[in-house]
Chains A and B, each alone.
Chain A
Amino acid sequence: MPAHFFAMVVAELRTVFARGSGLGAVIVSLIIGVLTTAVMFWVYSNAGDAQINGGSIDGFVQFSGPHCAGWALTARNFLILPLLLLLATGGTLAGELGDSTLREILVRPVSRWSVLLAKLAALMTLSAVCLLATLIPSLVGGAALFGMEGPTVDLLLGYAATLGTDLGIISFGLLASTVVRSVGGVVVSVILLLIFDGGARLLLWGREKLLDMMRATQGDYTEAAVHYSQLLPGAALDCWKGWTDGWAWEPFVGLSVLVTICLTVTVVRFSRMDIG
Chain B
Amino acid sequence: MDALVTSGLTRRFGQRTAVSDLSLSVKEGDVYGFLGPNGAGKTTAIRCILGLIRPTSGEVSVFGERDPIRQRAFIGAMVETPAFHRWMTAADNLARAAAFSGIEKSRIAPALERVGLSGRGRDRVGSYSLGMRQRLGIARALLSKPKLLILDEPTNGLDPRGMKEVRDLLATLAREEGITIFISSHLLAEVEQLCTRVGILEHGCLIAEGTPASLAGRQQVAEIGATDREALLAALEKMSIPVLSDGEQGRLRVSLASLSAADLNRHLLDAGVQVSALIPGGRSLEDLFLSLTSEELS
Contact = CB atoms under 8 A, between A and B. Distances in A.
B96 A107 contact: no
A18 B47 contact: no
Interface stretch (B74-82, B182-190, B223-231, B269-277): B74-82
Interface stretch (B30-38, B48-56, B194-202, B285-293): B48-56
A58 interface: no
Contacts of B95: 11, 14
Contacts of B70: 109
Contacts of B79: 103, 107
A7 B97 contact: no
Interface bin, chain A = 20 to 34
B63 interface: no
A275 B73 CA distance: 19
A144 interface: no
Given A18-B85, A103-B79, A8 B100 contact: yes
Nearest to A2: B102
Interface in B45-99: 47, 50-54, 69-73, 75, 77, 79-80, 82-85, 87-88, 92, 95-97, 99
Interface of A: 2-4, 7-8, 10-11, 14-15, 18-19, 99-101, 103-111, 115, 272, 274-276
Contact of A108 (B85, B92, B100): B100
Contacts of A108: 72, 97, 100-101, 144
B42 interface: no
Contacts of B72: 107-109
A104 B83 contact: yes
Nearest to B73: A109
A104 B83 CA distance: 7
The winner among B83, B92, B96, B140 for most chain A CB atoms within 10 A is B96
B88 A275 contact: no
B82 A111 contact: no
Contacts of A99: 83
A104 B101 contact: no
25 contacts: A8-B100, A10-B99, A11-B95, A11-B99, A14-B92, A14-B96, A15-B96, A18-B88, A101-B83, A103-B52, A104-B82, A104-B83, A106-B51, A107-B75, A107-B79, A108-B72, A108-B100, A109-B69, A109-B70, A109-B72, A110-B69, A110-B100, A115-B100, A274-B53, A275-B53
Given A274-B53, A275-B47, A104 B97 contact: yes
A274 B52 contact: yes
Contacts of A15: 85, 88, 96
The 10 A-B residue pairs with the shortest CB-CB distance in the complex, in nearest-first order: A4-B102, A11-B99, A100-B83, A109-B73, A274-B53, A109-B72, A275-B52, A7-B99, A108-B100, A107-B77
B9 to A, nearest CB: 15
